[in-house]
């Protein structure tokens, strides 16, 4: 069974950075891209970016370019997303998801205040 288990909620000050994680099991982590998706309170889904765990190649949404870094640790099957220069608009739930969006983590709430 594929499981994506994300790290816990974070509260950060504006201008700082946050790094959240997503541990993957039951899935060939190195073989497929992994995504991060943002959902602001009461809003829809917005793609943040993805990483190829095999070689670390990343692609980011234009909105987050320059502030987001997505990495993958194949030794622990863990996906990371770091978002810097935080502002109030970054307050959201962030989900990790597998390449075809067929498996999702439970979400991590990041509050910037």
In the complex, minimum distance from the CB of residue 15 to other proteins, in angstroms, rounded to a whole number: 26
Interface with other proteins includes 102 (CB under 8 A)? yes
Dist CA 45 CA 16 (whole Å)? 24
**Residue 111 DSSP class:** E
**What are the backbone dihedrals phi and psi of residue 40, each rounded to the nearest 5 degrees, phi first?**
-70, 160
Please state, in angstroms and rounded to a whole number, the distance separating the CA atoms of residues 5 and 2: 10
Q: How far is the CB of 13 from other proteins (least distance, A)?
A: 26
Instruction: Compute the least distance from the CB of residue 1 to other proteins, in Å.
Output: 12
* Interface segment toward other proteins; rule CB under 8 A; list 12-20, 23-31, 79-87, 102-110: 102-110
Q: Binding marks (x or -) toward other proteins, 31..50, rule CB under 8 A?
A: ----x--------xxxx---
Q: What is the DSSP secondary structure assignment for residue 32, as one 8-state letter?
A: S
């Amino acid at each position: 069974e594929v499981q994506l288990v994300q790290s816990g909620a974070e509260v950060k000050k504006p201008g700082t950075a946050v790094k959240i994680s997503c541990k993957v099991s039951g899935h060939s982590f190195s073989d497929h891209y992994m995504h991060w998706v943002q959902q602001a309170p009461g809003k829809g889904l917005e793609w943040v970016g993805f990483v190829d765990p095999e070689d670390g190649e990343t692609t980011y949404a234009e909105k987050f370019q320059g502030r987001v870094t997505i990495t993958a640790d194949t030794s622990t099957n863990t996906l990371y997303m770091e978002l810097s220069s935080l502002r109030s608009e970054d307050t959201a739930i962030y989900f990790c998801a597998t390449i075809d969006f067929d498996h999702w983590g439970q979400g991590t709430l990041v509050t910037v205040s």
